[in-house]
Amino acid sequence: MKSIATIQKEIIDEFSLFDDWMQRYEYMIDLGKSLPIIDQKHKTDSNIIKGCQSKVWVYAELKKNQVIYTADSDAIITKGIIALLLRVYSKQHPSDILKADTSFIDKIGLKEHLSPTRANGLLSMVKQLKMYAIAYQTQLN
Amino acid sequence: MKSIATIQKEIIDEFSLFDDWMQRYEYMIDLGKSLPIIDQKHKTDSNIIKGCQSKVWVYAELKKNQVIYTADSDAIITKGIIALLLRVYSKQHPSDILKADTSFIDKIGLKEHLSPTRANGLLSMVKQLKMYAIAYQTQLN
Amino acid sequence: MIDVKKIRDDFPILKRKINGNQLIYFDNAATSQTPQVVIDKISNYYSNYNSNIHRGVHMLSQEATESYEKSRRIIQNQFNAKSSNEIIFTSGTTHGINIVASGYSNFLKKGDEIILSEMEHHSNIVPWQMLCEKTGAIIRIAKMDENGVLILDYFKSICSNKTKLVLVSHVSNALGTINPIESIISIAHSNNAVVLIDGAQAAPHIKIDLQKLDVDFYVVSGHKLMGPTGIGVLYGKESLLDMLPPYQGGGEMIEEVTFSKTTYAKLPHKFEAGTPNISGGIALGTAISYLNEIGFDSISKYEKSLLDYSTFKLLEIDGLKIYGESNQKTAVISFNIESIHPYDLGTILDKLGIAVRTGHHCAQPIMDHFNIPGTIRASFSFYNTKEEIDIMVEAIKRAKLMLA
Amino acid sequence: MIDVKKIRDDFPILKRKINGNQLIYFDNAATSQTPQVVIDKISNYYSNYNSNIHRGVHMLSQEATESYEKSRRIIQNQFNAKSSNEIIFTSGTTHGINIVASGYSNFLKKGDEIILSEMEHHSNIVPWQMLCEKTGAIIRIAKMDENGVLILDYFKSICSNKTKLVLVSHVSNALGTINPIESIISIAHSNNAVVLIDGAQAAPHIKIDLQKLDVDFYVVSGHKLMGPTGIGVLYGKESLLDMLPPYQGGGEMIEEVTFSKTTYAKLPHKFEAGTPNISGGIALGTAISYLNEIGFDSISKYEKSLLDYSTFKLLEIDGLKIYGESNQKTAVISFNIESIHPYDLGTILDKLGIAVRTGHHCAQPIMDHFNIPGTIRASFSFYNTKEEIDIMVEAIKRAKLMLA
Ligand SMILES: Cc1ncc(COP(=O)(O)O)c(C=O)c1O
Ligand SMILES: Cc1ncc(COP(=O)(O)O)c(C=O)c1O
């Protein structure tokens, strides 16, 4: 399995090919469309992340010491961001997830999604991903 | 009896002799010192005017269809202002008092005392003088 | 008529570039932009006569007090209140509503009813829910129809002698609907109910005559009125304000304090505890004078033309649905495009320099009514132009292609 | 050390002439003056990114939100709060106290006791009187001695397990006394009482470490902290803020609203209903950064030198009595001159360009204690100078002659 740092580096490299925001967003929208669908039974109210303008559902399981995330959103750009996050965080060891930072979001020109406006739930999403990691980390100890 | 307008004119003329605020204030302080003393029995809490930083007592009687005001204050500049006001308003017919305005205060360079700050109770004083006039006016009708 | 080119020069922010594009600001229902005269008034206050008011004998304090109280009178005249005692400075519409809602906890009892319209902003819902929790009074909802128009007959049918309070917005922030508040007030009054009108969205666009309306309470926000943030106005009839208990305790709102007994100051100070937002109050007067110089007739007429034009142009877009189709509207358009999430569209428009609002607009019950997660809301002001609307329409088409 | 000449250039108002004289501003305890960086921050906000915060996807809204939340973190760091959730923006000290006092009406019952010091500002008296009226709790007074110093032994003697709340100012606005809040907090806590410290007069002059103090609630006003009017801060320990009910209902402070059920947002938003004073919050951060650049050590030391100098000079005046003679004071001097009314002296000083405050300073119980109608209060800031004090002393002598 690739390390989180490696994946982040790959994403930064991919995005560096784009000339402008249009291309970046079109790519994100494509990513959003290709996000594997979350199992319908996990799309429950208790799995909704509060504080996002679009609805976001996140679910996680521990398999072979790796956290496997699945997620969905009703907004396509949000789905694109989720796809990026899952590419970085999913299938990693909880302790690695907890150490990871989000600076790659800034580096790929999506800084606006890191802003503390509650409208943009990216920070809430990352927080939720890490909550799962904490929970599973405890389980592993 | 002189009319209110005449008295106001006289006061304006007197003050026009002063070169600066110092002289005006010294004169006011002198006026304050010479304010005839209010009867002690009228210096009651119910005769205090609210909204002045210094305490002001005002009392009024009707004699021969004229309102006779007496007043006092614990601050000397306030007493000076009262002295000016009483010179204008006292011993006048209630209806004349009700018609009178306070623009002479501005004309004698004491505009600051007309400001709506509650610290400066001149407007409250005038209001109280007029309240008495209204009351006695009703009595005369 | 409006000389929009000249007016735009009054607003420095309209020169901003966003992501390389000229800013197009269509989020006026959230917060209006601020003309240079208002900005200057604030700078001038802090540079020349910043001071605590009402109790100072010194010149700065007198100047600040005079400006603040002058502003109160400007507001009184603007809204035609009977007395300046009826003009209470607040920190905004929300604060104003809370003063009234909190005050009525002394006067409502179990089983009393209050009526809210279905299109209220959360600020005109939650304080009343809190009031009902305290008192046991019951909320009844005045419904609206599919066009986002209040159903007056229905309102009439639920308004009775049990109704103590009627709480309705003059204009819906999410739909733009102008409510028939004259009828609402008269129906309510004939049932001896007291009426609070949330005027946050009306005051910037419509000339308001409080005495003619005979409304009991009316609330507005400065930051929607070309004024600064942190300031607003609660109007109340003097007799009602006299009756209500003070909301906050503190300096300014008292006449005398001893540990055994405190007497409260007269109106308007009774409701203005503590050092107020002095620069905000002063600048709000300037903002209202500015609006008046342009003239509410001109403003209404011009904004109506923007509304009509944008409605026409937007409806040309395939799959676009407008929410709120009353024939009495301010220049607010709430819409969705089939199978596109408002957040996605808003994000792309932002990239193109166009500021619209997306989401529930603090009016979730409206969203529930239409069974949608939210809308995209473009809200116009007199400094906006048809050219800007054209650019938005093109941008929406482009975003639609991207998101499809 | 302070370069006062350079610092004075930061404050445009200090160039004002009053009645032909250079303004001497000694009313800092009422409201501090505003440095140009703060004024510029406000202008800049309205000229470049004025927008409603927290819910907008567009750039202006994001910039405004970021600045506002950055300011919250500046404040958190300045006062060393554990979390930015503990920093609630208010409209001022009075508002902050009212939030807490109103919240405790759910938690006090008849016979419970609360302790106020005798030297509280009305804003830290009246809200608690209102609370006691609602709950039947009883106010006990922590007395001070003839020097205006809190009698700690007496406080200890009235603090018991009946005591639920202790409400004391860090610094008295009328006397300048710095209270021993560390001891007060520890005595209160050993009785399981919750402590609110009114820091309005302390925060501008003393570095405050909330975690070290272990205080439960702490309140300040922006307009005394070189910031704008209409903004302040309530600090509360997270667990206590979590426990308190929301104060106002409205937008921002909710998570979800339906007519049947509303859930409240998390801290700090739970207490920030409605559109806040955005420019005020942002500019307060700038003001605090400005103070920090000068440094609280330098400020305290320099202001102490002004206090010592002015005390020495004033006491040379015949018949002058100073109220508040603690050896722990901020740079506030409250005084009277035999047989002269404070209002008269204040009026003459104003004519000479000197702004002092006269009256009861919203602390009538203190005046009752000393059996006087009021005092003249000169309160200094780090931009004041000894030369200004000399001018005031001469002016007082002159006024004395006029008024004698
Ligand atoms: C000690 C103290 N407490 C409370 C206040 C009230 O502050 P504000 O008027 O800013 O709410 C003041 C200021 O006047 C004060 O000096
Ligand atoms: C109709 C309506 N009511 C109330 C409010 C709340 O106003 P504020 O946030 O200024 O208190 C708003 C604005 O958001 C509004 O549009």
What digits encode the pLDDT tens for the residues A31-41? 999 987 788 89
For residue D264, the SS3 value is strand
Distance D293 CA to ligand 1 centre (A): 25
Q: Which ligand is nearest to the CA of D124?
A: 1
Taking CA atoms, C299 is separated from C1, C8, C27, C103, D250, in Å, by 8, 14, 17, 36, 29
Cα distance between residue C162 and residue C193, in whole Å: 8
Nearest Cα to Cα of residue D226 among D5, D391, D37 = D37
Is D222 in the C-facing interface, judged by CB distances under 8 Å?
Answer: no
Task: Answer yes or no: is the C-beta of C379 below 6 A from any ligand 2 atom.
Answer: no
ipTM score of complex: 0.95
Contact C54 B115 (CB under 8 A): no
B116 contacts on C by Cβ (under 8 Å): 65-66, 69
Pairing, β D232-236 against β D217-221: antiparallel
Count CA atoms within 13 Å of residue C229 on its CB side: 28
Contacts of C358 in chain A (CB under 8 A): 53, 119
Could A29 and C341 be called an inter-chain contact, meaning their C-beta atoms sit closer than 8 Å? no
Which residues have CB under 8 Å from D297's CB, separation 6+? D207
Contact call for D351 and B54, based on CB within 8 A: no
What's residue A140's pLDDT? Answer: 86
**Does the pLDDT value for residue A1 go beyond 90?**
no
Q: Any idea which ligand is nearest the CA of C278? A: 1
- What was the pLDDT predicted at C255? 82
- What's at C137, amino acid-wise? A
What is the pLDDT of chain D when averaged over all its residues? 96
d(CA B104, CA B87): 12
Name the residue in chain D with its Cα closest to that of B29: D403
User: What does the pLDDT look like over C181-240, one tens digit per residue?
Assistant: 999 999 999 999 999 999 999 999 999 999 999 999 999 999 999 999 999 999 999 999
Half-sphere exposure of C117 (CA within 13 A, CB side): 32
- Chain C residues within an 8 Å CB radius of B110: none
Indicate if the pLDDT at residue D134 is higher than 70: yes
Q: Which residues pair with C378 in a beta bridge?
A: C333
Does the beta-carbon distance from D249 to C98 stay under 8 Å?
yes
Domain ranges in chain D are 4-26+296-403, 39-292
Angle at B58 between CA B54 and CA B60, to 5 degrees: 170
Closest chain C residue by Cα to residue D41: C43
Domain ranges (residues) in chain B: 4-140
Contact list, D31 vs chain C (CB under 8 Å): 50-52, 275
Pick the ligand that lies closest to the CA of residue D248.
2
CATH 3.90.1010.10 describes domain B4-140:
yes
CB C247 within 8 A of CB C236: no
Write out D161-183 in H/E/C secondary structure: CCEEEEEEECECCCCCEECCHHH
D121 lines ligand 1 (CB under 6 A): yes
Q: CA–CA separation, A50 vs A71, rounded Å?
A: 14
Secondary structure in 3-state letters for C241-310: HHHCCCCCCCCCCEEEECCCCEEECCCCHHHCCCCCCHHHHHHHHHHHHHHHHHCHHHHHHHHHHHHHHH
Average pLDDT taken over every residue of chain B:
89
CA distance C263 to D162: 28
Tell the residue nearest (CA) to atom 15 of ligand 2: C200
Whether residue D252 has pLDDT greater than 90: no
Give the pLDDT confidence of B1-10 residue by residue, as tens digits: 799 999 999 9
- The token duo for D126 is 């009246």
Long-range CB contacts (within 8 A, 24+) of D261-268: D262/C125, D262/C126, D262/C129, D266/D85, D267/D85, D267/D86, D267/D88, D267/D238, D267/D241, D267/D242, D268/D72, D268/D84, D268/D85, D268/D86, D268/D87, D268/D88, D268/D89, D268/D241
Question: How far out from the chain centre does Cα D229 lie?
Answer: 12
Is C34 within 8 Å of D46 (Cβ atoms)?
yes
State pLDDT tens for residues D3-55.
Answer: 999 999 999 999 999 999 999 999 999 999 999 999 999 999 999 999 999 87
pLDDT band at C119 (very low <50, low <70, confident <90, very high): very high
Q: How many CB atoms lie within 10 A of CB D378?
A: 29
Residues 6+ apart with CB under 8 A from D233: D75, D79, D87, D88, D89, D90, D96, D219, D220, D222, D284
Structural Rg of chain B based on CA atoms: 14
Buried b (16+ CB within 10 A) or exposed e, D283-320: bbbbbbbbbeebebeebbebbeebbebbbebbeeeeeb
Q: Is the pLDDT of residue A116 over 70?
A: no
Q: Please report the atom of ligand 1 found closest to the CA of residue D169.
A: 1
pLDDT of residue A120: 58
Q: Is the predicted pLDDT of residue C127 greater than 80, yes or no?
A: yes
CA of D270 to the centre of ligand 2 (A): 17
**Is any Cβ of chain B less than 8 angstroms from the Cβ of C51?**
no
In CATH terms, D4-26+296-403 corresponds, of 3.30.1490.120, 3.40.50.261, 3.90.1150.10, 2.60.15.10, to 3.90.1150.10
- Which pLDDT does position B120 carry in this prediction? 58
The closest alpha carbon to C222, from C175, C177, C271, C282, belongs to: C282
Confidence of residue C55 (pLDDT cuts 50, 70, 90): confident
The answer to whether residue C38 neighbours chain D at the CB level (below 8 Å) is yes
**How far apart are the CA of A71 and the nearest CA of chain D, in angstroms?**
22
- Alpha carbon C255 to its chain centroid, in Å, reads 32
Per-residue pLDDT tens over the stretch B19-34: 899 999 999 999 999 9
Q: What is the CATH number of domain D39-292?
A: 3.40.640.10
The pLDDT tens digits for C325-344 are 999 999 999 999 999 999 99
Q: Decide if B75 and D351 are in contact by the 8 Å CB cutoff.
A: no
Q: Kindly list the residues from chain C whose CB atom is less than 8 angstroms away from the CB atom of residue A26.
A: 402
Any B CB within 8 A of D359 CB: yes
Q: Which residue minimizes the CA distance to atom 7 of ligand 1?
A: D93
Distance from CA of B67 to the nearest CA of C (A): 28
